[in-house]
Amino acid sequence: MRHLAILATSVALLAGAATAQAQTFSFQTVDNPGDPTFNQLLGINNAGVIAGYFGSGAAGHPNKGYTIAPPYTTFKSDNVPASAQTQATGINGGKMITGFWAPTNVGGDANYGFIQVPDGKTFRYFDVNNPLVSSNPPVNQVLGINKLGNAVGFYNDAGNAPHGYAYQLNTGVFTPINFAGATSTAATGINDSNLICGFFTSKTGRTFAFLKPETGGNGVVFFVPKAPVTQLLGVNNTGHGVGFFVGPDNFPHGLYLDPATLSWVPVNNPAGAQGTVLNGLNDKNQLVGFYTDAAGNTHGMLVTVAP
C-alpha cells in the first residue's frame, strides 16, 4: 500500500507511496456459463447483487448483460429489449441498473445509455444520451448510479474524445464533469453523497484518476508513480475507491484507495497472469471486477476485503 503526498492545491494532486497498513483480499471467480471465455463484473450494491455481462463485443461475440445475487449460482439476463448488445454497468440499492446498449454487433457499434428502473414485476427503461454527443457512430455510456437516481458516464465528441457528465434521473439534467486542460474525461462512479470518481487524460498523454463532488468543493487527482495510466472506476459511501493502474509489464493492476489515510494497495488476482481490474464496490468490503488469465480469457471476479 502507498501513502500519498500533496503536490498541489485547488484540485489536490496526490501521488502514491508505500503504505504501512496491510489488508487481505480473497478472490472468487464468477462466470456466466453462457460464455466462460469473457465476463466482467462492473457494479455491486449493499445487498451483494452484481451487475455485469459476458461476451467481448467483437463482431459475432456480443455483450449480454446480467445480474447475479448471492449465493451467485443463478444469472438473470438483463438486456435492453430489441438490442443486439447490452452491458449492465452499475446497480444501486433500489436495484436501478445503468448501462449501455448497441443495435448491432459488427464492430465499431453505436452505444446508447440507459437506466433501468424496477416497475412492479417488470422494468422501465429510460434513455440517457447526452445531447452534446457528436461522434460517428454515437457513443454514450452510463456507468454508475446512486440511491438518488443520479448517474454518471461519458459521451464522445466529433474527434471521439470522451467527456464526463452527471445525470439526474428525476430532472433529466446533465452536468458536465471535465478538467481544465484535459483532452478527455470520463465519470465512472458516484456515491450517495454525489461524490464522483473517474479519470482524465492530460495533454502529455498521461491518464490520472480523480474524486470530486458533483457540484462545488475541491477535487482530488490521484496517480500511481511512474504509471502512464491510473483510473478510478468505483466509489462507495465511505469514499473508498477502486480502479487500476498500468504497470511496467503493460498489464493493468487493480487498486484499492483508502480516503482516510490517502493510501492505496495493489490488488492482483493470483490467476490474473495478464492483469486485474477492479470496477465497483459496496459499503460491505466487497469489490467486483475481472482478471485475464494466461490463456487470454477474461473472468468475472468478486473480492472480499479483510483488514
CA distances from 186 to 6, 120, 140, 155, 297 (A): 23, 33, 11, 8, 26
Q: Is the pLDDT of residue 89 over 60?
A: yes
Peptide bond before 225: cis, by omega within 30 degrees of 0? no
**2-16, 197-211, 225-239, 291-305: least confident range:** 2-16
pTM > 0.75 = yes
What region does 98 belong to: left with phi over 0, alpha with psi -120 to 50, or beta? beta
**Mean pLDDT, the chain, whole residue set:** 92
Contact 115, 169 (CB under 8 A): yes
pLDDT tens for 244-275 read: 999 999 999 999 999 877 799 999 999 999 99
Q: Angle CA(22)–CA(190)–CA(95) in degrees, nearest 5? A: 100
Range of the domain at 169: 2-306
According to the model, what pLDDT value does residue 19 have?
47
* Residue in this structure with the C-alpha cell 456480443, named with its chain if needed: 62
Phi, psi of 32 (to 5 degrees): -70, 130
Residue 15: which pLDDT band, with cuts at 50, 70 and 90?
low
Instruction: Look at residues 66, 41, 94, 19 and name the one whose alpha carbon lies nearest to residue 286.
Output: 41
* Three-class secondary structure assignment of 148-211: CCEEEEEEECCCCCEEEEEEECCCCEEEEECCCCCCEEEEEEECCCCEEEEEEECCCCCEEEEE
List Cα–Cα distances, 190 to 194, 234, 251, in angstroms: 6, 7, 26
Q: What is the pLDDT of residue 74?
A: 97
CA torsion through residues 184, 189, 194, 196, sign:
negative
CATH code, domain with 134: 2.120.10.30
- pLDDT for 50 beyond 50: yes
Domain count, the chain: 1
pLDDT, tens digit, 9 for 90 and up, residues 150-201: 999 999 999 999 999 999 999 999 999 998 889 999 999 999 999 999 999 9
Collapsing DSSP to helix, strand or coil, 143 comes out as strand
